[in-house]
C-alpha cells in the first residue's frame, strides 16, 4: 500500500509540475514578463509545499472557488451606485462550510493586516450564507509562504525531515467571523469607491512615507515597493 501511495504521489507531483509550467508559459505570453530559473523553482516550491501540507484537507473535503456578486450597492455619503464581485475559496467538510483566503504574504504580514482580511471574509461570508441559505462555520487566511525548514527539507529531498517540518508548519491564521460586520465593511468599501469616482489619488506626504510602519520598516519600503505605479508617484520619487 505504501508503494502504491508513493507512486500516486509521484504522479501527482509530475502533474503539478505540468500544470505549473503550462500556467507559467501562459502568464509569460500574456503579460510579457518572465522570471529566471531560480525564481521559477522557488515558485514551484511553494506550490509543492502547499499541496503536501494540505493534501489531507483537499482529499477529505471539497475545496472549490466560488464567484460572489453583491449588486445594487450605494456609497454611504454620495449615494453612488456600485457592485462588488469577487472569488473566494470554500471548504465543505462534514456538512460544514469554511471560507478562506489564500495569500503569499507571511503569517506576520497577515496578522499585521488582519482587519483587512476580516472585512473581506465577513462580507463574503454574509453573501455566501444568503445565497446558499447555510451557515459559515469558520473563516481563515492561509499563507503559501514556505518556512525555511520546509524549503531546506524539499531541497535535500529528505522525507523524514520534510514530514517533521510540515507537521510543525501551521500556515493558517483564524479570522473571527462576525455576522453583523457587513455594514461596517461595506461602508469602508463605499468610501474607497467615492474617492475613486472623485479622482482622489493623492499620495501621503514624503514625511509620512518615511515613518516606521510595520516590522520597523518605513512605509515606502513596506507598502510602496508593491505598488506598480510608484515610479509615477511624486512622493515616492523623493525617497
CA distance 27 to 11: 24
pLDDT of 239 reads: 80
Residue 2 pLDDT grade (very low, low, confident, very high; cuts 50, 70, 90):
very low
pLDDT of 76 reads: 93
CA distance 205 to 110: 26
Q: Which three cell numbers stand for residue 59?
A: 482529499
pLDDT of 94 reads: 87
pLDDT of 195 reads: 93
DSSP character string of 44-99: HHHHHHHHHHHHHHHHHSEEEEEEEEEEEEE-TTT--EEEEEEEEEEEEETTEEEE
228 pLDDT more than 90 = no
pLDDT of 6 reads: 52
pLDDT tens-digit readout, 105-141: 888 888 888 888 999 898 888 888 888 767 888 999 9
18 pLDDT more than 90 = yes
Give me the mean pLDDT over the 209-226 stretch.
Answer: 79
CA distance 140 to 144: 13
The whole model's pTM is what? 0.74
Amino acid at each position: 500500500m505504501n508503494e502504491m501511495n508513493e507512486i500516486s504521489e509521484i504522479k501527482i507531483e509530475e502533474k503539478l509540475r505540468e500544470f505549473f509550467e503550462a500556467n507559467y508559459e501562459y502568464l509569460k505570453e500574456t503579460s510579457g514578463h518572465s522570471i529566471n530559473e531560480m525564481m521559477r523553482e522557488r515558485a514551484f516550491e511553494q506550490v509543492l509545499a502547499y499541496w503536501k501540507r494540505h493534501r489531507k484537507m483537499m482529499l477529505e473535503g471539497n475545496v472549490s472557488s466560488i464567484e460572489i456578486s453583491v449588486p445594487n450597492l450605494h456609497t454611504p455619503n454620495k449615494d453612488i451606485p456600485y457592485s462588488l464581485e469577487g472569488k473566494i475559496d470554500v471548504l465543505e467538510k462534514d456538512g460544514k462550510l469554511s471560507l478562506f483566503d489564500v495569500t503569499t504574504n507571511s503569517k506576520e504580514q497577515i496578522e499585521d493586516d488582519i482587519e483587512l482580511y476580516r472585512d473581506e471574509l465577513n462580507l463574503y461570508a454574509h453573501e455566501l450564507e444568503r445565497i446558499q441559505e447555510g451557515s459559515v462555520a469558520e473563516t481563515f487566511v492561509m499563507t503559501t509562504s514556505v518556512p525555511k525548514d520546509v524549503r531546506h527539507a524539499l531541497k535535500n529531498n529528505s522525507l523524514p525531515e520534510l514530514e517533521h517540518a510540515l507537521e510543525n508548519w501551521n500556515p493558517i491564521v483564524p479570522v473571527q467571523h462576525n455576522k453583523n460586520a457587513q455594514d461596517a465593511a461595506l461602508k469602508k468599501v463605499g468610501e474607497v469607491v467615492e474617492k475613486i469616482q472623485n479622482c482622489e489619488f493623492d499620495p501621503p506626504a514624503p514625511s509620512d512615507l518615511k515613518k516606521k510602519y510595520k516590522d520597523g520598516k518605513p512605509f515606502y519600503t513596506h507598502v510602496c515597493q508593491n505598488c506598480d505605479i510608484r515610479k509615477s508617484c511624486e512622493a515616492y520619487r523623493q525617497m
